Structure 1
């Protein structure tokens, strides 16, 4: 089932890429979200072609990281508390959910201990939902420049989570605005940043996110089925 679902997901990604506006030539990276899924399911997905996996929680990730006998790129896509930064730096290749300078500084300190430059994304709460983390658009520029002063972090782009609208088409204006912001920040005179990644779109809306310019999508249920709680 996982291999079949993955094939369908990749077909959807390719179809959505063809609907993009001219000029959006980036490839799309699929992050398979493995939260609450077993090591066996993770291995099956990787063996079927998944190269990137996403986890939400540090504790669950630690158990899997030490047990998973596969080469894969690890993404942290869930909210990260400062006191868990040391674990995140040890495990994750890309942290999607940085949203405060305090968290960024803690990640920078921990990365320095490991002699590592930690790749990060800044999470933007474009819809200003109380239930979601992320910096507001009005505060984004200041945060990006503050992060740019941290030697052991490398800003790679932005991440967002769209509201769970009844009509999934309602996500389109938000994704479109995120792409505009993504293009805007490429013009900022940031010294250490390498702005290449726009992470947006999940199982229910990733096709729309790609059409509007996502370069990374995060799909769990569409690959693995319903989570096992």
Structure 2
């Protein structure tokens, strides 16, 4: 995709964020746009950087590892948003800034270990299955408290909030209740803020449903198609 189109698309998404925030009395500065660059070439990412975008999301650890090595821009914040493979965390721990898809306490333990070896701190979000779909990742809502308790004493991984993926539907209003559930979990688990747990962020909402997610409290939206166009695979 051309640089002009990517820049134009980014402006369009930022305008959508602004309008969604204004509709519910929020400050647009509260919502971070994560550009989902999975399957897209480095050239597209660099064009987005030229347009001012610095947060990028990848869903495959090998792809993320490669892009972090090939794009040597220290200003970029890399977000891993895909299924975690424990044995591959070591390959991204030296550079990744955010991991959105932590669904088990054992993943936090491994991130702590690998980030510790690299002498860095990685931000993590606990993924909760809010759609009740087996194919979607995430812990059960009832397991969230136990994961947060185990996370409180780490030094190299900080739990900064929750992440959720709603069902794919034509009408975003159909999944408002799923975003509402994640916000309710976020609010009801603030008592676990201690040590390495500081629940501040809600990563929810994508190209087709980001407005509803923002209205329900999203602080991060993950948008790919509306910025970079349709994906070829993955």
1:96-124 Cα distance to aligned partner (Å, 9 max, x none):
01111111111111111112222101000
CA distance in 1, matches of 2:100, 2:132: 18
Query: Secondary structure at 2:23's aligned position in 1?
Result: coil
Which has the higher mean CA deviation after the structures are superposed, 6-15 or 66-75? 66-75
CA distance in 1, matches of 2:124, 2:36: 17
Query: Secondary structure at 1:127's aligned position in 2?
Result: coil
Which TM-score applies when normalising by structure 2?
0.92
The aligned runs of 1:74-153 (5 Å cut-off) are 74-153=78-157
Is 1:43 the counterpart of 2:43? The answer is no
Aligned length: 228
For structure 1, list consecutive stretches of 5 or more residues without a partner in the other structure: none
- Seen in structure 2, the aligned counterparts of structure 1 residues 25 and 48 have a Cα distance that, compared at 3 Å, is closer
CA distance in 2, matches of 1:137, 1:56: 23
Is the CA contact (8 Å cut-off) linking 1:147 and 1:155 kept in structure 2?
Answer: yes
1:194-216 Cα distance to aligned partner (Å, 9 max, x none):
22110000111111111111000
CA distance in 1, matches of 2:59, 2:193: 32
Q: How far did residue 44 of structure 1 move?
A: 0.7
Query: Secondary structure at 1:91's aligned position in 2?
Result: coil
Which TM-score applies when normalising by structure 1?
0.94
Query: Secondary structure at 2:207's aligned position in 1?
Result: coil
Aligned to 2:6: 2
Is the CA contact (8 Å cut-off) linking 1:26 and 1:215 kept in structure 2?
Answer: no
Is the CA contact (8 Å cut-off) linking 1:20 and 1:213 kept in structure 2?
Answer: no
Is 1:198 the counterpart of 2:202? The answer is yes
Task: Please provide the CA RMSD for this pair.
Answer: 1.6
CA distance in 2, matches of 1:25, 1:185: 25
Q: In the alignment, which of 170, 179, 185 is matched to residue 183 of structure 2?
A: 179
Q: How far did residue 179 of structure 1 move?
A: 1.3
CA distance in 1, matches of 2:40, 2:131: 29
For structure 2, list consecutive stretches of 5 or more residues without a partner in the other structure: none
Q: How far did residue 192 of structure 1 move?
A: 2.1
Q: How far did residue 53 of structure 1 move?
A: 0.5
The aligned runs of 1:63-82 (5 Å cut-off) are 63-70=66-73, 71-82=75-86
CA distance in 2, matches of 1:28, 1:17: 8
1:72-105 Cα distance to aligned partner (Å, 9 max, x none):
1111011111001112312210110111111111
Q: How far did residue 228 of structure 1 move?
A: 2.9
Aligned to 1:61: 64
Aligned to 1:33: 36
Q: How far did residue 58 of structure 1 move?
A: 1.0
1:3-43 Cα distance to aligned partner (Å, 9 max, x none):
11111100000000112267x88610000000010111111
Is the CA contact (8 Å cut-off) linking 1:53 and 1:75 kept in structure 2?
Answer: yes
